[in-house]
Amino acid sequence: MIDNDLLVAKPVILAATGGTARHAMVVDDHLRPLFAFLRAIPLPTSLYAAPEDWGSAELGQRIGRAANELTMLLLSGAPSQIADANWSGHQHQFAGNATRSERSVEDVDFTTDLMRLATGGS
Domain count, the chain: 1
Whether residue 109 lies inside any domain: the answer is: no
Pairing of strands 11-12, 41-42: parallel
- CATH number, position 80: 3.40.50.360
Closest listed residue to residue 104, CA positions, set 113, 95, 114, 92? 95
Gyration radius from the chain CA atoms: 18
Whether residue 21 lies inside any domain: the answer is: yes
Whether residue 74 lies inside any domain: the answer is: yes
Q: What is the pLDDT of residue 109?
A: 73
- pLDDT of residue 4 exceeding 70: no
Kindly report, residue by residue over 14-29, the tens digit of the pLDDT: 999 999 999 999 999 9
Q: What is the pLDDT of residue 94?
A: 54
Domain span holding position 70: 11-90
Residues 6+ apart with CB under 8 A from 65: 45
Give, rounded to a whole angstrom, the gap between the first and last alpha carbons of the chain: 21
Q: What is the DSSP letter of 88?
A: G
Distances (CA, A) of 29 to 17, 36, 46, 54, 102: 14, 12, 11, 22, 34
Residues 6+ apart with CB under 8 A from 100: 5, 83, 87
Whether residue 115 lies inside any domain: the answer is: no
pTM to 2 decimal places: 0.68
Kindly report, residue by residue over 69-117, the tens digit of the pLDDT: 999 999 998 888 888 777 777 666 654 445 555 656 667 677 888 777 7
Put residue 119 in one of left, alpha, beta given phi > 0 → left and psi -120 to 50 → alpha: alpha
Closest listed residue to residue 8, CA positions, set 78, 87, 62? 87
Whether residue 84 lies inside any domain: the answer is: yes
